[in-house]
A = this chain, B = another copy of it.
Amino acid sequence: MKTRKTVMMFALGMAAATAFSAQRDEPIQPLVAPVVKEPAKVELGKKLFFDPRLSRSGAISCNSCHNLAMGGSDNLKSSIGHSWQEGSINSPTVLNASLSIAQFWDGRAADLRAQAGGPIANPVEMASTHEKAIEVLSSIPGYVAEFKAVFGRDGIDIGRITEAIAAFEETLVTPDSRFDRWLQGDDSALGKRELAGYDLFKNSGCVACHNGAAVGGNSFQKMGLFESYKTANAATGREGVTGKDADRFNFKVPTLRNVELTYPYFHDGEAATLEQAVETMGRLQLGRKFSAQEIGDIVAFLKTLTGKQPTLDLPHLPPSSNSTPTPQPFVKK
């Protein structure tokens, strides 16, 4: 009986899906799967994203801190860099990062291409240099041929490296969440509690910053409006980029897409659970003390933002050659 009912509901759902007249008019828009225009560049970028040879140790790749098996993040409070150095800030997810107004918590990189060069040369992260990364890739015949095929002529430079990585990252969009299906008119996609959570998310003011297709990522806001935020983390946010005192503790509003997967939360990773994050945000940003019931409702809504993660074949990286510089994990500079 239960099976039959499920089948019927499924059939009705299908019928309804074809009959959806229009997208709902909401402050959040559904994610749209990107059209891949340059598949060869994306494939090269995927290889580079997974290639630990871009790091000094030969062991840290983009995927180390933006792990695509784990929602594009490392799920650590702060990341582990070269020689096990502790990163200064929580690694944001790479999923849907292309939709952000700028990259990094302080927005110091205008776009994914500008971002991609940063960690390679950051001594606390991959601890290589752009020159060394180019030397390494240029010594690998498989890469030399692939860069040539993608860019039309010989040569590997940091512009091409970051362009390919960014092209890959632009494909990392997660459409088709239950919330998106609801946005597209499918009433059955959300349950009562999830809808109540979304109503509260809108009515209490969360949506003022967490809106748009990425449910965030499109503005900088001060962390700590109604109360100041207490943290041992030294980051001062946007101030470091603009030099303006008014930008102190202004951080990029993170996307809430797949937020169920991207714990822990905030730039300092101090909120271990979604419940803590919602409670703190309500108090600090909205001057509101959410009840346990309200927090549960909002969390239920947030979990409907988990979309379809990209299916990725793990790339087979081209082998080094005899002239490839040896990784230096244990050699002191």
Chain A interface residues toward B at CB < 8 A = 50-53, 57-59, 64, 67-71, 74-78, 80, 83-84, 86, 260-261, 263-264, 272-273, 275, 309, 311-317, 319-320, 322, 326-327, 329-330
Whether A59 lies near B71 (C-beta < 8 A) is: no
Kindly provide the distance from the CB of A77 to the nearest chain B CB, expressed in whole angstroms. 8
A69 cross-chain contacts in B, Cβ below 8 A:
50-51, 314-317
A57 cross-chain contacts in B, Cβ below 8 A:
76, 80
Whether A313 lies near B312 (C-beta < 8 A) is: yes
A84 cross-chain contacts in B, Cβ below 8 A:
83-84, 329
Listed by A's residue number, 13 A-B pairs whose Cβ atoms lie within 8 Å are A52-B67, A58-B75, A58-B76, A59-B64, A69-B314, A69-B317, A70-B317, A71-B319, A78-B330, A84-B84, A272-B326, A312-B313, A314-B314
Q: Given the interface contacts A68-B314, A326-B272, does A59 sit within 8 Å of B76 by beta carbon?
A: yes
A261 cross-chain contacts in B, Cβ below 8 A:
319
Cα–Cα, bound, A176→B99 (Å)? 42
Chain A to chain B: the 3 pairs with minimum beta-carbon distance, closest first: A84-B84, A273-B322, A312-B314
A68 cross-chain contacts in B, Cβ below 8 A:
314
Cα–Cα, bound, A53→B67 (Å)? 12
A64 cross-chain contacts in B, Cβ below 8 A:
59
Whether B316 lies near A309 (C-beta < 8 A) is: yes
Whether A329 lies near B75 (C-beta < 8 A) is: no
Q: Kindly name the residue among A53, A76, A309 whose own CB sees the greatest number of chain B CB atoms within 10 A.
A: A76
Whether A330 lies near B75 (C-beta < 8 A) is: no
Cα–Cα, bound, A68→B263 (Å)? 26
